[in-house]
Structure 1
């Protein structure tokens, strides 16, 4: 039974860090002198695109799977995902010898669909205009005994993502930096809610910001309204990983408590960030993973003289699209 309110505390986050430690990549903190000079700030960059399965989602999926009972493991897992959660959960399931079924929208990036299949999971493609993924997932769970692992609105998943915030805060302290703010990509809010708790478990006064694509800025609108509010989703976005129009029932109350604000970025700004990451950091970042860097480069908040942490949350992008993004002229 899911609780009405859940917030991962320091004890749960520490336990999760210990639980996943042997499996997870402790991604480094990077700095770019070019970026620091350009912004007049110290920017600490955590590249979770280097995480196993290519994104931060590995943390939440792993934290959930490692706490399945033997009976639950026998039934397997089922999840819905535009890509990264499915990639992470199918990767974890393969490593632990668990069956996995992943529901993916027909228009999900080919590299993500192929990756989930390569991990040995069953992929069930669905039509977003005619089918409800939660209903399909519930039906599969009822028929097979599989455990549903939601992409963000889940205590285990949120706690797994919180390990990323705690790791960022700890690494910043290790390089003698005192964080003023930290920016995280946002879709349903699992990353930013969990990571905010992770940062605040070690450094309570850091300002945390969510970053979303324009027209899919449900968190921005919800924070402004004080209640869950849908984004209009009136235009396409290159951020296939960030297309949830409203923050989750569990994630939003946590964000309301922990976030200093929400930001949004355009496709043009995202492409500029992808190009910058490729040129200056030699990193392959997918659009959804580039959102925090895009917000900084576009001047969405004042960072002059401050120390800012950002997470580049994923790097699972179709090669053809990535080639277009980095070669486009302004």
Structure 2
């Protein structure tokens, strides 16, 4: 893997180009409010609801940018990736829209709802063990066999530029709410969404602080942030299945340069926040998407009196296995 100095670092021009490229293939997702949650947190919260996105997650933005940015010759062999779920189904969706194959390596423990969605979009799944090392080993085989274009779930300039279109929309939509934001909070796993958020806000709203939210049981980004270098865990265990992967060189560039802080929440706090949003806002979200609210509730002094954008990253959850239903 190249380090960030050797990789192409996307610019805001790439975000603008990505937005024009992906607009025909994505939803402009809504920004929702909750007076109850405002009162509970003491902040003004603006939820950017990517759980209403095509394929049920923000990752369709980066995946579509990568797929529709390929030349016809590059696209002929299809695309390939490894992913615990949302990138897999998003890339499968985008590949299906373009009519090309999509090969995906997924952990055998990935939620069945996400596996079903990948296959529903035409993706071809190879299962691996639930660790970064196994994922990369199996992917190397699939990639060698297919020759497909590798679209990394997050350590890819095309993907990061695509994810940056989410906060571009959010800032445009804030005009309908009488002004801008003081902070934006988003989940962090590999760092694709956070990197895209940093890329966009550093250009169009540099005074807005970017806060990353992470599970305590998969807190490698928080430890990396404090240590000043990437610290990677191979197989962390957390209910937030979309946040188990480590930072890579390109996303670390954005995290280390632009992120104001990385806050963490416990498994119980994540589940409580997820349930609260389901109850109060009546929207379906997955555990990874509840981590930002969990950290806001845990750190009230940081957010009180602030206007805070909260990126709800996805809604692909197995309805038969909701965490508060487990024995």
Any residues of structure 2 matched to 1:38-117 within 5 Å, and which?
A: 38-117=40-119
TM-score, normalization by structure 2? 0.94
Q: Hey, what's the Cα distance between the residues in 2 that align with 1:121 and 1:230?
A: 28
Q: In the alignment, which of 158, 163, 167 is matched to residue 165 of structure 1?
A: 167
**Which moves more between the two structures, 192-201 or 4-13?**
4-13
**Which moves more between the two structures, 248-257 or 55-64?**
248-257
CA offset digits 1:57-79 (Å, max 9, x no partner): 00000000001111121101111
Q: Hey, what's the Cα distance between the residues in 2 that align with 1:129 and 1:209?
A: 26
Change in Cα spacing, 1:130 to 1:36, as seen in structure 2 (3 Å) is closer
Tell me what 1:192 maps to. 194
Q: Is the 8 A contact 2:186 2:194 kept in 1?
A: yes
Q: Does 1:201 align with 2:203?
A: yes
CA offset digits 1:203-237 (Å, max 9, x no partner): 01111011111121111111111111135866x31
Tell me what 2:308 maps to. 308
Ranges in structure 1 where 5+ consecutive residues have no aligned partner: none
Q: Does 1:237 align with 2:238?
A: yes
Q: Hey, what's the Cα distance between the residues in 1 that align with 2:132 and 2:60?
A: 29
Deviation at 1:131, TM superposition (A): 6.3
Deviation at 1:135, TM superposition (A): 3.3
Any residues of structure 2 matched to 1:244-323 within 5 Å, and which?
A: 244=245, 246-299=246-299, 302-322=302-322
CA offset digits 1:260-297 (Å, max 9, x no partner): 01011111111111111111111111001111111112
Ranges in structure 2 where 5+ consecutive residues have no aligned partner: none
CA RMSD after TM alignment: 2.0
Change in Cα spacing, 1:284 to 1:169, as seen in structure 2 (3 Å) is same
Q: Size of the alignment, in residue pairs?
A: 325
**Which moves more between the two structures, 293-302 or 258-267?**
293-302
Secondary structure (helix, strand or coil) at the match of 1:209 reads strand
Deviation at 1:28, TM superposition (A): 1.0
Change in Cα spacing, 1:273 to 1:129, as seen in structure 2 (3 Å) is closer
Deviation at 1:145, TM superposition (A): 2.0
Q: Hey, what's the Cα distance between the residues in 1 that align with 2:31 and 2:132?
A: 43
TM-score, normalization by structure 1? 0.93
Tell me what 1:120 maps to. 122
Secondary structure (helix, strand or coil) at the match of 1:45 reads strand
